[in-house]
Structure 1
């Protein structure tokens, strides 16, 4: 019920007398310590203004949801909602609109003072009212940001979700903003959203970027949705020509194929913020702590590059190093000093330069023991390390050009920044990744489909990064080119939907270091914007060289990831066992209560089927994908027979 006419609402300004403001006994910083997951006071008001139907509430509610998920206390005040309670006795005359905005601004100020990020979405057509709302906050030293949702009237009319424009045009609704009541557009808003041409995701991203710039959104929280900052190591064009002029006079280090793969990992930013192959300081941090603690060059350094300084330890479970032998070390030394610039060469082509390098001892047994938990040269990666040089070359790296292999697969080798752009253009709001080095059967696909279904309860468009490892693998693993053709077939047959799947190659070599290595696999994917990571059974595992059993407990990978330092914000999806359900004729999650209904097809059995031309049960694998795999194993069997004759 209306409380009477509001012809003199402006008199409210002088309505209260004999009142004294009471000071709180705690301050904003004290409240902030118990509010949200991040330290520091963040209370402020984001004031969305624009025509009805411009998209103010849509963006505000979306930002509210994201901030809440990130642990930032936020509350959206909507124009219609407050008129159901706080302002239910107000109409739409100019005076009543002014009182409406005043009340909302006072409430927003209280919320902001408490430490909440207030997202107020109100048409607020008059500049003087918005200025008053800002003044209410400024008087208490609270941040107020005006966001103009600049959507043209014609688009708002096309949207018209409540048929208000239709009623206003017909004369049924009087005093409607934009039709027969003026809207005074902001002259100098803090942020402009072009909702008529931007997608909702793009507008939301602009608001989040703005909040990051204004220190409302902490860097750590922002990285949960965008991934950490990417540090690519390519030389800039201005410096490249001068560097090339000096190239012939520089000492050289010849890289192996695996060295080149690690260089690609560094160059594209998968190991950000590492500036190159690890120096001894970072190597020791990694080896003994499983973390990067800083990027200082020497133990006695007191400062580091402020642009890439680490605010907190970063997970780094495996060392990224460049081994060299005695002869190479001698060539790099000029007396007691190392050459300030060193060319890195692959197949007689200079691919990068190490700047301000250092050489330190490669204590192989110590590295192997800590990294693998076993010292046995029958382990293929351990054998490779034992055969490598006795010294390690560390230092900042400048890469001359993009690393490519001209094997027909370079189109799949997308960098973190390229992948982020793909997901952004698709309006993806959550990325989940599946790391693999084996062919995909329908049980794998089931897990990926199930993960997306879970994410759809929180997000609008979660997308899968199907990310096979593309670096060195042991000899009996399926080669990369065969695997990529098999993955393409899985997508072509619709087992995984190409609309929400991005197939790309992860350039890292394989180590077979179990739970230690799986942390690296997960940490690197953060660079591509991944927020959810599916962990396989026995991830990065291998058979024990002596017994043939699991070298690592197959469940430890997911357990370690769930509590790994520096990865606590990554959502871990443990592998669920899938088997062939004979009653349904397809792969399904194993149900122990009816175990007799399931048939387990191990990797050994699958390879036996493929070599001998035996078709697996229908529903185990996409037919075209199976044909590719079967052809490969039959070809390998024929070659082995020929070699034995």
Structure 2
């Protein structure tokens, strides 16, 4: 049992509680249960396996307050980030969660109980104070502050954990190590000095040069220790990133580097997060830890300025270096010098020397457009992986989402557009007409706002899954509410697809005039309730890419306008 940064022992709760595993599992079956969310699942895994030593559970109120005020637990041990279990008010008010009770904590992926918490206290956090203390500002532009105010529930539960089992992983199992396992792995490799490299992004040549330089300066081996839990919204998925890390490993000198995945839910907390990362890496057996420029920075605040200074994280970690028992290796950015074909620290570049760089924004642009990425920036193997996961727009899926009054002409336009896209043959195109979805997917739904929103959610889910696979979707519901349309956009874009909202703004009087079925007449007489435009509202879209009027333009002309929009944005046309 090796020392933690706090001078104690690595607290492997799974190993500690292994003799009681069957007993605890039987008890969990009789207890009230909480199903953990994604962040809580990441946190509990690292509590149970010792990655969060000295924690043995979720913070009680005394520890929580101390961490906010002093970066320490109530007993004085260094710990900069609150690890909390949030629950909703209904659970507390029902009396299911209260001091002294034992609650089973379940994995959302398989519903298995992974631990039992003995509740010490239930308390109401001051979220504004937490945001200001931990993240430096109560600014919703910070992803963790946004999560705190929009996702975190009303109460926190503090208490110690009894471990039943760790969450089961099915991906990259060969690269997943608990702290005890990784320490044993280092011992098997005869590694006595190990520098850890934290990352949530793909690695390129600059990262390889930076880590090799750190290893040479400190006479260490390199542990690539990327986060594969929650990171910043919009980050490249961990499957793509791990494939990149595996491709990078052979670029190191033989025996210099290894890869281990960290199931951490990042908070993007800058200085405090860097301190937290250093403690975690010591728990995993590392002797050195690289802290780079703007470590774990979330980007710009609401005023358009960086949340943290470029070297704030290095300064805070240096302040506590005597307690950490891990040597922090500060690094600046490295720059590529084409004249010598090498990367060197930015502060060592002679004045007047030409340097090259590609920003993250520029890299994403090149991936999106299919533009070339130079070999000096990244390795050909990495380029191949990134292009597989981020194809050019002409190969990405998309959804054209129509909205408008019933009988506005949206269904006819959507049908004609699907035919036109299928004629081009670039990708399969699926048609989701409102009446078809109502019959096939949403037959049990009515026309209340809640039911209408659920209907749009289902259409968005189908569209997102198709777009994820590179297909095209043409959807034509009425979709009267702006909030539901915005959620549909988010769903498709999160899946990596393009989303185009087309408002078919045919005036209501024209929709009524063209109605030969008498449906509008029945609605006007009150025979049909909740009819959009009659006794139910229609919210004019605030973010439509295209607005058309079927009473003024023929279907063929409108379809042509949509095709031109898709071509302009690169989704169809030259491949």
TM-score by length of 2: 0.65
Q: Does 1:267 align with 2:48?
A: yes
1:371 corresponds to: 134
1:507 corresponds to: 263
Question: Distance between the aligned counterparts of 2:8 and 2:190, measured in 1?
Answer: 19
Q: Does 1:472 align with 2:235?
A: no
Question: Distance between the aligned counterparts of 1:265 and 1:404, measured in 2?
Answer: 13
Paired residue secondary structure (2:139) = coil
2:249 corresponds to: 491
Paired residue secondary structure (1:338) = coil
Q: 1:332 to 1:426 in 2, by over 3 A?
A: farther
- Structure 2: runs of 5+ lacking an equivalent: 398-495, 501-565, 567-575
TM alignment of 1:500-579, pairs within 5 A: 500-564=256-320, 567=323, 569-579=325-335
Q: Does 1:618 align with 2:368?
A: no
Question: Distance between the aligned counterparts of 1:431 and 1:321, measured in 2?
Answer: 30
Q: Does 1:403 align with 2:259?
A: no
1:378-422 CA deviation, whole Å, 9 max, x = no partner? 32221211131111111111121121232x223322111111101
Number of equivalent positions: 397
Contact 2:4 2:283 in 1 (8 A): no
TM-score by length of 1: 0.58
- Structure 1: runs of 5+ lacking an equivalent: 1-208, 210-218, 295-312, 457-461
Q: CA deviation at 1:364?
A: 1.0
- Give the alignment partner of residue 585 of structure 1, picking from 328, 341, 354: 341
Question: Distance between the aligned counterparts of 1:566 and 1:291, measured in 2?
Answer: 15
Q: Does 1:330 align with 2:111?
A: no
Question: Distance between the aligned counterparts of 2:173 and 2:127, measured in 1?
Answer: 33
Q: 1:635 to 1:229 in 2, by over 3 A?
A: farther
Contact 1:270 1:524 in 2 (8 A): yes
Contact 1:586 1:618 in 2 (8 A): no
1:35 corresponds to: none
Q: CA deviation at 1:232?
A: 1.5
Q: CA deviation at 1:624?
A: 0.1
Contact 1:433 1:533 in 2 (8 A): yes
TM alignment of 1:208-223, pairs within 5 A: none
Q: 1:617 to 1:595 in 2, by over 3 A?
A: farther
1:149-182 CA deviation, whole Å, 9 max, x = no partner? xxxxxxxxxxxxxxxxxxxxxxxxxxxxxxxxxx
TM alignment of 1:397-476, pairs within 5 A: 397-406=161-170, 408-456=171-219, 462-476=220-234
Q: CA deviation at 1:641?
A: 6.1
Q: CA deviation at 1:261?
A: 0.6
1:229 corresponds to: 9
1:393 corresponds to: 157
Question: Distance between the aligned counterparts of 1:618 and 1:244, measured in 2?
Answer: 53
Q: Does 1:603 align with 2:364?
A: no
Paired residue secondary structure (2:231) = coil
- Give the alignment partner of residue 643 of structure 1, picking from 499, 516, 523: 499
Q: CA deviation at 1:576?
A: 2.6
1:252-295 CA deviation, whole Å, 9 max, x = no partner? 2121111101001101101112111111121122111101242x
Q: 1:410 to 1:641 in 2, by over 3 A?
A: closer
1:481 corresponds to: 239
Contact 2:81 2:134 in 1 (8 A): yes
Q: CA deviation at 1:346?
A: 2.5
2:104 corresponds to: 343
TM alignment of 1:39-58, pairs within 5 A: none
Q: 1:642 to 1:275 in 2, by over 3 A?
A: closer
Q: CA deviation at 1:237?
A: 4.1
Question: Distance between the aligned counterparts of 1:543 and 1:251, measured in 2?
Answer: 41
Task: Answer with 1 or 2: which has the greater Rg.
Answer: 1
1:384 corresponds to: 147
Question: Distance between the aligned counterparts of 2:314 and 2:26, measured in 1?
Answer: 50
Q: 1:227 to 1:497 in 2, by over 3 A?
A: farther
Q: What value does the CA root-mean-square deviation take over the aligned residues?
A: 2.4
Q: Does 1:316 align with 2:73?
A: no
Q: 1:622 to 1:332 in 2, by over 3 A?
A: farther
Question: Distance between the aligned counterparts of 1:323 and 1:372, measured in 2?
Answer: 18
2:36 corresponds to: 255
